[in-house]
Amino acid sequence: MVAVDAGFPRSPRGALKLGRMLVAFVAFVCFVASKAHEAYTALAIMEVIIPLLFFLLYLLKLDKKITKLFWPLADIFNSVISAVFLLIVCLCAVIIKTNEVTLAGGVLGFVLLVLCVVDAVLLFQKISISGPRERNGSAK
């Protein structure tokens, strides 16, 4: 039986992950509706899927069972790399601006970029650099 952390979706990190997925999905819909470049669409759908996987990982407490990887650090790397890709792609979407819907998707991408940075900062604050490291650091 898989244990479920019912409090995670209501925690700040869980709500942030849900917000990231929602904003990324709306940006994806904007890019698809505007027939934007495939790179915009691919990045938006990846920003729905990857946070969903991390959300499920923490929700189902799989980070406690799969201990070969330090999951909070992997989550930070994901957020930082996502922010860099979002910066590049959304700058292109806003500068090129083939139509208003592409512009809306680019602006939502910038909102998503801010959410990624906030997610990385919140998780970084949870990881103790100077103190002893727990093998299964809490991601809430």
Higher-confidence position of 54 and 132:
54
Q: Over pLDDT 70: what percentage of the chain?
A: 89
In which domain, by residue range, is 113 found?
66-129
My answer on whether 58 and 79 are in the same domain is no
My answer on whether 115 and 78 are in the same domain is yes
Whole-angstrom Cα distance, residue 13 to residue 99?
34
My answer on whether 86 and 111 are in the same domain is yes
Task: Give the pLDDT confidence score for residue 135 in this predicted structure.
Answer: 54
Q: Model-level pTM?
A: 0.81
Contacts by 75-82 with C-beta closer than 8 Å and gap 24+? 75/119, 75/123, 75/139, 76/120, 76/123, 76/124, 76/127, 78/50, 78/51, 78/54, 79/116, 79/117, 79/119, 79/120, 79/123, 80/116, 80/120, 82/47, 82/50, 82/116
Q: How many domains does the chain have?
A: 2
My answer on whether 50 and 71 are in the same domain is no
pLDDT tens, 63-115?
888 888 888 888 899 999 999 999 998 888 888 877 888 888 888 989 999 99
My answer on whether 76 and 45 are in the same domain is no
Task: Give the pLDDT confidence score for residue 130 in this predicted structure.
Answer: 47
Tokens of 36: 């934007």
My answer on whether 57 and 72 are in the same domain is no
Q: Residue 134 domain-assigned?
A: no
> Is pLDDT at 30 greater than 50 in this prediction?
yes
